[in-house]
A and B are shown apart, each in its own frame.
Chain A
Amino acid sequence: MEHSEVQARVKKVISKVLKIDEANIADDANFIFDLGADSLQSVELVAAFEEEFQIEMEEDKALEVQTVSDAAKFISQYLK
């Protein structure tokens, strides 16, 4: 899967979980600081990414990921 496609789908998931317009999600936006996710929503995001991409991620490491582009990179590792 192309990186741009992963990134687009990541944004779609974030938009759904955090209820933010996709257009307002920048590539380097921080989930907490820029998008206002709280700890519960961070867990929800991890679960939603797993569902979207049909993968299973290491939760501790997944929760350390903080930005949209880092999430896309992190998820890409599981898609290879």
Chain B
Amino acid sequence: MSNLSPEKFENLQKIFYPQSIAIIGANKVKGTVPSDILFNILKAEFKGVVYPVNPREKHLASIKTYKYAIDIEDPVDLAVLVFPSSVMHMALEQCGQKGIKGAIIISAGFKEVGGQGIEREEQIKEIAKKYGINFIGPNCLGVINTDPNVLLNASFARKMPEEGKIAFISQSGALCTAVLDYAQAKHIGFSKFVSIGNKADISEIDLLYYLKDDPKTKVILLYLEEISDGIGLMEAAKTVIRESGKPILAIKSGRTEAGASAAASHTGSLAGSDEICDAAFKQAGIIRCDNIEEMFNKAIAFTYQPMPKDKRIAIITNAGGPGVLTTDKSIQQGLTLAKFSDTTTEILKKSLPKTANIKNPVDVIGDARADRYSVAVSSILKDENVDGAFIILTPQSMTEIESIALEISHLAGQFDKPIYTSFMGEADVKAGIDILQRNKIPHYILPESMPIAFSSVYRFKKMIEEKPEEVIKLNDKNSEKAKSILDKASSDGRKYLPEEEAVKVLEAYNFPLLKSTLVNSEEEAAKESEKLGYPVVMKIISDDIVHKFDVGGVILNIKSKEEAKESFNKIISNVKKNMPDAKIKGVFIRQMIPPGEEVILGMKRDITFGPVIMFGLGGLFVEIYKDVSFRVAPLDMKSVDKLISETKASAILSGARGLKPRDINSIKNCIIRLSQLAVHCPEIKELDINPLIVLEEGKGSFVADTKIMLH
């Protein structure tokens, strides 16, 4: 699905912009959901017509009440259903007969309760499909649209929020009410507010596509508990960002969920669901937040202020300490302190007291009143070397808190540069903060939150300026050959490919491999070693042995015929001693790779996001260092670059501390091949190339060991 179908878009329009609503199951018992929904719609002064439906009531809230939806004479755009789940199918059936195309099913008692609830959910999905209805829910808080042309509060939230440019989509209904309360206190408004509940029909993906074209929405916030279609979500997010430039900020709960610790491969063990979600969000351009506060801190920066042209910031403060804290955080976030022009420096010198610091961070001194802030802020924002300003205030006895807040609000509108503020404290600065928030100037309790929000906006701006890249395709592969090896193993019921077969799969995809052969006697070992050329490596081959080192099944650096014979015998005896039951297929001999940097490439097929590629520092201690990063396949070149640059290994490979730079291009080539293999061969569950030995720049890299696990 690349976008919404015209029917679904029309139905969503009916949900968000209805001209008439039937509230099916409304009642007069105050304090219950069926009653509150009706009163909330009325209280918000909905701009259309409301039809309460209840088989027992003649009227509710002085409005004529219908026995059934089909009894309503006029057309109805939206049905809000609050009947118990046991009769929801009957109510929805009548909505279908009435020709209602948009619905919000508030009631609980469906999939979330298990058992019969699952059947009920399937039943309503079928009815909706039969009549071409699209619905939000069930088990949700409802939908809010603050657009003055509709004023819809079809929810049981206590209050209608202010109108704003933020759309909020939440899988948790309870969190919605908490967010509304939090936002109200900070004068944060919303364009749309949707609780998606069980998302039996309309999901966050549909809503992302819908909000992409919603002129009232500038920023989209998501709270997700589970992602059912990871690939769809990534595709939708990329489309929204690319086509509308609207940022998407998301909280995905369940961060601590245990990864697959018992996995047989390093990749399987390192790629927990949260790491994969993190990587997928990054790749799709979704800004992942840890908590509500962080999400709104960033959201107000995106919503209220223009995006910065560059990352040169100015700090204006009346206290030294907070200025230093903010400077530290700015540098840590990759921002730079702006160097003021001579004109600015001259103005600051003239207007500020001698004791003031006129260099960035500018200290207007504790006794600064509004006039001093005003001259500092306006002259600095006029400076071409400044891309944005952080304004800090601490409340001294002479500080004109409210006047300064008003002055900042006034100045903010005059420049096309972002201004963020931090009035530190709580009680004394409250009135000032209130002025800033009402005037839509981003305000933060902690000054360090300003650089965090600024850098998030700056990175997003850089990202949308980059041109999207095509997924890279290599045509020198023989996917049929790889498939036939994998198919045979699968049909034999094997879950693990022995190394000689795994190597053949990689060979089909043209990975850089060394010459190798399988032997079964000491004579053969000596003869083949001579042929390959010394030094060589020997490894045990057995379906029963995954970790060859642990059983003494690997000998490196074999340099002569005699050593070859001796090593063959030693490997066999080690294995017989350590794993007497293992069925030995033979000993694998391979050219010894010249010394190089060891990295790991891996792949794991994730249930939500599909094939995930891993890169990191390789070798024996992969799981101890955990210096790895992830991306969802298929990969474009930018993703390949980021996959490498996110790890510490990247610095080592680039030639840290006088080391010669390694052949990073050959790693990229291998990653692309792995990405293609992962996409073409869904039979592969997990794959490790560990290590891939990377030689000096221009000299390539070689696969030293590989493991392939099947489903």
Which chain A residues have a beta carbon within 8 Å of chain B's beta carbons?
Answer: 18, 20, 30, 32-39, 64, 66
Contacts and interface: CB of A to CB of B under 8 A. Distances in A.
Contacts of A66: 86-87
Top-6 shortest CB links A-B: A36-B56, A36-B55, A33-B87, A33-B90, A32-B87, A34-B55
Contacts of A36: 54-57
A37 B54 CA distance: 10
B26 to A, nearest CB: 11
Interface in B45-64: 54-57
B152 interface: no
A32 B57 contact: no
A35 B91 contact: no
Given A38-B27, A38-B29, A33 B54 contact: no
A39 B55 contact: no
B135 interface: no
Nearest to B65: A36
B29 A33 contact: no
Nearest to A40: B29
A33 B56 contact: no
B54 to A, nearest CB: 6
Interface in B171-211: none
B75 interface: no
Nearest to B93: A33
Contacts of A33: 55, 83, 87, 90-91
Contact of B84 (A18, A32, A34, A35): A32
A32 B54 contact: no
Nearest to B56: A36
13 contacts: A18-B56, A20-B56, A30-B90, A32-B83, A32-B87, A33-B87, A33-B90, A33-B91, A35-B56, A36-B54, A38-B27, A39-B84, A64-B86
A38 to B, nearest CB: 6
Given A20-B56, A33-B90, 20 more contacts: A18-B56, A30-B90, A32-B83, A32-B86, A32-B87, A33-B55, A33-B83, A33-B87, A35-B55, A35-B56, A36-B54, A36-B55, A36-B56, A37-B56, A38-B27, A38-B29, A39-B84, A64-B86, A66-B86, A66-B87
Which of B54, B56, B83 gathers most chain A CB within 10 Å?
B56
Contacts of B86: 32, 64, 66
Nearest to A19: B56
Q: Describe B's contact surface by its main secondary structure.
A: loop
Nearest to B90: A33
B87 A30 contact: yes
A52 B87 CA distance: 26
Size band of the B side of the interface?
10 to 19
Interface of B: 27, 29, 54-57, 83-84, 86-87, 90-91
B82 to A, nearest CB: 11
A18 B54 CA distance: 13
Nearest to B87: A33
Contacts of B56: 18, 20, 35-37
Contacts of A32: 83-84, 86-87
Contacts of A18: 56
Contacts of A39: 84
A37 B56 CA distance: 8
A36 B52 CA distance: 13
A18 B90 CA distance: 20
Contacts of A34: 55
A33 B86 CA distance: 9
Contacts of B91: 33
A39 B29 CA distance: 12
A20 B54 CA distance: 14
A32 B109 CA distance: 15
User: Which of A18, A30, A33, A39 neighbours the largest number of chain B CB atoms within 10 Å of its CB?
Assistant: A33
B24 to A, nearest CB: 10
A30 B55 CA distance: 10
Contacts of B57: 36
A13 B57 CA distance: 20
Contacts of B83: 32-33
A23 to B, nearest CB: 15
B482 to A, nearest CB: 56
A35 B87 CA distance: 12
A79 B347 CA distance: 98
Q: Which one of B54, B86, B91 has the highest number of Cβ atoms from chain A below 10 Å of its Cβ? A: B86
B267 to A, nearest CB: 49
A26 B493 CA distance: 61
A66 B87 CA distance: 9
A76 B87 CA distance: 24
A33 B56 CA distance: 9
Contacts of A20: 56
Contacts of B84: 32, 39
A28 B84 CA distance: 18
Contacts of B27: 38
Nearest to A39: B84
A20 B58 CA distance: 13
Contacts of B55: 33-36
Residue in B54, B55, B83, B90 whose Cβ sees the most chain A Cβ within 10 Å:
B55
A64 B29 CA distance: 23
Contacts of A30: 87, 90
A51 B91 CA distance: 31
A3 B56 CA distance: 27
Nearest to A35: B55
B469 to A, nearest CB: 55
Nearest to A32: B87
B236 to A, nearest CB: 37
Contacts of B29: 38
A76 B544 CA distance: 65
B53 to A, nearest CB: 10
Contacts of A37: 56
Nearest to B34: A38
